[in-house]
Amino acid sequence: MKINPKLFLFTALAAILLSGCSPVSNQVQVTLTEWGINLDISEVPAGEVIFTVSNQGLLEHNFLIEGTEIQLDLIPVNSQAAITVNLEPGRYMILCSLPGHEEAGMRTEFTVLPY
């Protein structure tokens, strides 16, 4: 196949421009296991944030953002739950509040960037 150099350049430029202009994600994929909380991204812009929380452990877990009212109650094994919240800029702790779970490692930091 012959590649048209002009078309190639245009496509490359378009790809660069599009990636530069795409909005920062406000969706966070959270994975719960024994004993940890993993986030696919640890920073989001302020405003609406969608957390999708997947329990890939062998025990039930919950999801709580320390210092807020934001909480998802017990998430069964092999299930996922989602919550949409509004967050002010700042640093937050995400944890599982079941007895002993936070101490065992189910705690992680999360940053909401300024407007």
Buried b (16+ CB within 10 A) or exposed e, 72-82: beebeeeebbe
Position 30 contacts Cu ion (CB under 5 A): no
Q: How far is the CB of 27 from Cu ion (least distance, A)?
A: 22
Looking at the Cβ atoms of 48 and 109, the one nearer to Cu ion is 109
Name the residue among 41, 42, 48 with its Cα closest to residue 92: 42
Rounded distance between C-alpha atoms, residue 23 and residue 4, angstroms: 31
Burial category of 3 from C-beta neighbours within 10 Å (exposed 0-12, middle 13-18, buried 19 and up): exposed
Binding mask of the shown chain, residues 62 to 81, with x at each position contacting Cu ion by CB under 5 A = --------------------
Looking at the Cβ atoms of 28 and 61, the one nearer to Cu ion is 61
Binding Cu ion by CB under 5 A: which of 61, 75, 94, 95?
Answer: 61
Q: How far is the CB of 74 from Cu ion (least distance, A)?
A: 9
Binding mask of the shown chain, residues 81 to 110, with x at each position contacting Cu ion by CB under 5 A = ---------------x-x--x----x----
Q: Which phi and psi angles does 80 have, rounded to 5°?
A: -140, 155
Binding site residues, Cu ion, CB under 5 A: 61, 96, 98, 101, 106
